[in-house]
Amino acid sequence: MSLNTSDIRADFPIFRRKINNNPLIYFDNAATTQKPRQVIESIKNFYENHNANVHRAIHTLSQEATELHENARGKIAQFINSKSSEEIIFSRGTTEAINLIAYSWGLKNLKKNDEILISEMEHHSNIVPWELISKRKECIVNYARVNNDGTLNFEDFKNKISKKTKIVSISHVSNVVGIVNEIKKIGKIAHENNSLILVDGAQSVPHMKVDVRDLDIDFLAFSGHKMLGPTGIGALYCKKEHYENMDPFQGGGEMIKEVNFNMKTQKSECVWNEPPWKFEAGTPNICGSIGLMEAVKYLNQIGMDKVWNHEKKLTKYTFDRLQECKKITIHGSLDVSLKCGIIPFSFQGLSSHDVALFADNFGIMIRSGYHCAQPLHQVFNLKSSARVSFYIYNTLEEIDRFVEVLREIEHF
């Protein structure tokens, strides 16, 4: 059964806007998604009726805020089929979640000459933290190669993983080419080598059913703003068994249970809070967690299978329509079964920014540049690329209009 995009679009106030006197067509969903009124109203309701800090007071407002915040943690745990809400650590997003593992787990467990395995398709957020940690711990970051169609080179991956590999950190879905990696297979190989696996789920959790227990992964990072939620909120799934091997990421309120000061020695003794709060220093993004909970409810009401099938339909239709454009080159695999709803392309004779600016004149929002994945562009020998990415509110008619504009650019 297909999605009723008309009903869905009615929930998104932004689609009442016009850009340059044209209806807004938003094809930059891999960067961030638009927000339904249910999410917007949940944030407004919190500030108007329940605003207080959490876990810090016994008054009514604090108790209400705490209940809402922790209910959000539980709803997110259910969404990815975590065993317990205690395996969910709130973060500012995928970037902070990956950094948390790099520093909390990496600094404590990595030793000189240990190895970290990532891939050439990674977002900068899954490259830079490991490069920084490797310099501090004198360990080695290895990169599994990517094939010409954007898929992971499994032979190279298997050749580069070894007993020296302490963690594999890899994207579930490439934010450039939309390739869906076989995480269950990758994780099995990692565990056979006594390695942990961290999955960058920024482009998967919003678009498909992700079951952390079925995948048998150790860590999963994802962002709220890519799945209809607010910016500045995300989550890290962490298998409970790994908490004892992780030090706090930041220090301050909330992550501490006791700070005992010795008057004689003038020193303090700190006792950490229990996980996950041990890794959540300071006042959390309470309205963010509530907004994300509402986004999860919205997606659950639609059904993640329908979300996934809708994107597949849009992707296949776009591939077919783009064949009409003689100056367009699509990068990566054209096999829809391997992909999420992300399509990178180049336009002969124009930079990606030129194409994006031209599209903007017609109210069509697309991405241009490196998409925070410069190494993969170097693998493809590209200076940059244009990218369209779809979500639940996009339609076939919008794709038709986009192709019309591309044809107009060709004539121009």
CATH number of the domain where residue 322 is located: 3.90.1150.10
**Residue 46: alpha-carbon gap to chain centroid:** 25
| Contact present, 236 and 88 (Cβ < 8 Å) | yes
Of the residues 300, 323, 342, the one at which a domain ends: 300
User: Are 99 and 141 members of one domain?
Assistant: yes
H/E element holding 72?
Answer: helix 60-79
Residue 174 and residue 317 in one domain: no
Identify whether residues 58 and 151 lie together within a single domain. yes
Tokens 């990218």 appear where?
Answer: 387
* 206, 256: one domain: yes
**Structural domain boundaries, residue 405:** 5-31+303-411
Residues in the chain: 412
C-alpha to C-alpha distance for 313 and 368, rounded to whole angstroms: 23
Q: How far apart are CA 249 and CA 231, in angstroms?
A: 21
As given in the structure block, the two tokens for residue 67 are: 């209940």
Candidates 238, 270, 325, 372; catalytic one: 372
Its pTM stands at 0.96
pLDDT at position 160 = 98
Give the number of other Cβ atoms within 10 Å of residue 18's Cβ.
10
d(CA 182, CA 203): 14
Query: Which residues contact residue 353 at a Cβ distance below 8 angstroms, ignoring those fewer than 6 apart?
Result: 368, 369, 384
> Are residues 353 and 218 both part of a single domain?
no
pLDDT in tens, 70-127: 999 999 999 999 999 999 999 999 999 999 999 999 999 999 999 999 999 999 999 9
Total structural domains within the chain: 2
Mention every residue, 6+ apart, whose C-beta is less than 8 A from residue 71. Answer: 293
For residues 229 and 329, state if they share a domain: no
- Which is nearest to 134 in space by CA: 176, 90, 169? 169
Task: Note whether 105 and 238 are within 8 A (CB).
Answer: no
Residues of the chain scoring pLDDT < 50: none
Predicted confidence at residue 261, as pLDDT, reads: 84
- Confidence (pLDDT) at 365: 98
**Whether residue 317 is found in the same domain as residue 293:** no
> Which residues pair with residue 141 across a beta bridge?
116
Tell me, yes or no, whether 402 and 259 share the same domain: no
pLDDT of residue 311: 97
**pLDDT value of position 267:** 85
> For this structure, is 340 an active site residue?
no
Instruction: Decide which of 263, 281, 300 is a domain's last residue.
Output: 300
Examine the domain organization and report whether 273 and 316 are in the same domain.
no
Specify whether 85 is located in the same domain as 13: no
- C-alpha to C-alpha distance for 381 and 349, rounded to whole angstroms: 16
- What is the structure's pLDDT at 1? 64
Residue 324: how many CB atoms within 10 A of its CB? Answer: 12
Same domain, yes or no: 129 and 264: yes
Query: How many Å apart are CA 107 and CA 129, to the nearest integer?
Result: 11
The structure tokens listed for 211 are 């079951």
Locate 395 and state its tokens: 């339609």
How many Å apart are CA 268 and CA 180, to the nearest integer? 49
pLDDT of residue 387: 98
Last residue of a domain, one of 242, 277, 300: 300
CATH number at residue 146: 3.40.640.10
Does residue 233 share a domain with residue 369?
A: no
pLDDT tens-digit map of 278-331: 999 999 999 999 999 999 999 999 999 999 999 999 999 999 999 999 999 999
Position 56 scores a pLDDT of 87
CA 340 to chain centre: 13
Question: Looking up tokens 């298997």, which residue turns up?
Answer: 158
